[in-house]
Amino acid sequence: MQRTESFLWMLRASAKMQHDISLILEAKANEAEKSRDWICVHLNHQSYDNHEDQLKKPLEMHESFVELIDGLTKMENALSKNLKVVLNKNEDMSSDGGLGGLFGGGLGDST
Which residue ranges make up each domain of the chain? 17-81
- pTM > 0.75: yes or no: no
- pLDDT given at position 49: 81
Model confidence at 99: pLDDT above 50? no
Q: What is the mean pLDDT of residues 23-43?
A: 85
Which residues are CB-neighbours of 82 under 8 A, at least 6 positions away?
10, 14
- pLDDT given at position 91: 60
- pLDDT given at position 55: 81
User: How far is Cα 27 from Cα 19, in angstroms, rounded to an integer?
Assistant: 13
For the chain, the average pLDDT equals 76
pLDDT digit string (tens) for 39-81? 788 777 777 788 787 788 778 878 888 888 888 889 888 888 8
User: How far is Cα 27 from Cα 44, in angstroms, rounded to an integer?
Assistant: 26
Contact 7, 86 (CB under 8 A): yes
